A and B are shown apart, each in its own frame.
With several copies, the nearest count.
Chain A
Amino acid sequence: MTDLFQENQVNQSEMPFALVEGEPLTVIPQDLYIPPDALQVFLEAFEGPLDLLLYLIKRQNLDILNIPVAIITKQYMDYIQLMDQLALELAAEYLVMASMLAEIKSRMLLPRPVGEDDEDDPRAELIRRLQEYEQFKKAAEDLDALPREEREVFFTQAELPDIKEEVPVVEVTINDLLMAFRDVVNRAEQFASHHIERETLSVRERMSIVLGKLKSDDYTEFKDFFNVEEGRMGVVVSFLAILELIKESMIDLVQNEPYAPIYVKARG
């Protein structure tokens, strides 16, 4: 643990790695030291490698635009090694960043022709990413600071007067119904296999009326289904309806002996 920064200090004593208020800074601030048992908590506090790098930079009051790559890389690697030693699960992103830092560092060491326009500062991409991440880290903090529901913003709860709550009933017009019927029939026509029998509405209706009169386990006299006032047509329709119901096994006719009253009973 102690040799962690010793090496740094030897190297750093030869050159300032940062300017703080114009003064060269050659000693790493002691508050960078973190006891090992606190390390896990410490690392969990980071939202990834960019966050860790930002921390390293900020702790030393370094300008993000002028990252001393060698130093930062060294410190970063130390943390990674520590995490490794402590067998902490290391997110892959941390290793990707380690290799990116190593690459930048090696490119910085290469001599570059003077006078020619540099293609790129090897650090440019890293700086861009650090800045962009920092920008949204700040935005998240700002967002968190906004007054918000459940914390600062509460709703008023005024006692309501007694109001008659009416449950609205769905309105249907006869047109809606007829159009629906026409559509379904039109659609059914396309299914040739569906055969709808030829039947009259009035008989169908009478079938419903007959069934409606029947209660299960109850016998109703046959003649009760005929109303003379309806005339011949009405009697015929009723008769057809009963025949149809028998055919469809919906009702039974019962007669105990010849000329005895005929009873109608619903099946089931």
Chain B
Amino acid sequence: MELQTLKPIIEALLSSADGPLTVNHLYDLFTGDLDQPGKDDIRKVLHELVDEYQGKGMQIKQVASGFRLQVNPEYSTWITRLFQQKPPRYSRALLETLALIAYRQPVTRGEIEAIRGVSVSSNIIKTLQEREWVKTLGHKDVPGRPSLYGTTNEFLDYFNLKSLNELPTLSELKDLDQFHPELALNDDDIAVTADEPAADKEGDTETAQQQPDGIDQAAS
């Protein structure tokens, strides 16, 4: 077999193999061919290929267990991007569950379900716990002893809150929506609303007085 005929075949074999190929293995693959190439020819072609692929996106490289085709590590920046997954989005159900746990803690799954009107999947609770935003605070002393869920410090940290008091009340949420529908709640609005020094006693009192209204409205 001519070296020029042999070369693309070896190239094809190297590119499809799932590991390095030795000269002997390659040699065996030509068994039965009328003009089976010699091992020297195979070796020669392999070294030619190593040279030819210099500066390309792929390279042919000799490693301990043979020759293989590999992606040129010079370009790993882009390869990394190729394999980077797009961050998934949390479902509406998950966000609502999280919000209810934040506002109504300690709360059982049954209570969340009663408010949402639909069942809460175990996956959602699991995701929230894995994310360390929600933890089990204890068990409610009712039949079935359901877990009581509450938010964690990690939850506060993630949402950049000093305490749960910084969450706006429901009436504030509704007002924002009503008066600035075009704003539709951006972070600045919340920051203003939530800007209540936690240590400030009066602030605390005010907040404490505001909250019931907001929550109550939700109920009525």
Contacts and interface: CB of A to CB of B under 8 A. Distances in A.
Classify A-B as touching or not with yes or no (CB < 8 A): yes
Interface of A: 15-17, 19, 24, 47-51, 63-66, 68-70, 91, 93, 97, 108-109, 111-112, 114, 117-121, 123-124, 127-129, 131-144, 146-185, 187-189, 191, 194-205, 207-208, 211-212, 214, 216, 231-234, 237, 248-251, 266-268
A124 B198 contact: yes
B183 A19 contact: yes
A199 B212 contact: yes
Contacts of A174: 159-161, 187, 190
A268 B80 contact: no
A233 B201 contact: yes
Interface in B168-198: 168-171, 173-174, 176-180, 183-193, 195-198
A162 to B, nearest CB: 7
Nearest to A168: B87
Contact of B190 (A16, A108, A111, A267): A108
Interface string B40-66: 000000000000000000100000000
Interface in B119-159: 119, 131, 135, 137-142, 145, 148, 150-151, 157-159
Interface of B: 15-18, 58, 68-73, 75-76, 79-80, 83-90, 92-93, 95-96, 98-100, 102-106, 114-119, 131, 135, 137-142, 145, 148, 150-151, 157-161, 163-165, 167-171, 173-174, 176-180, 183-193, 195-199, 201-208, 211-212, 215-220
Given A132-B173, A151-B76, A250-B148, A171 B68 contact: no
B183 A181 contact: no
Given A174-B159, A201-B165, A151 B117 contact: no
A156 B118 contact: no
Given A48-B116, A163-B79, A204-B105, A173 B187 contact: yes
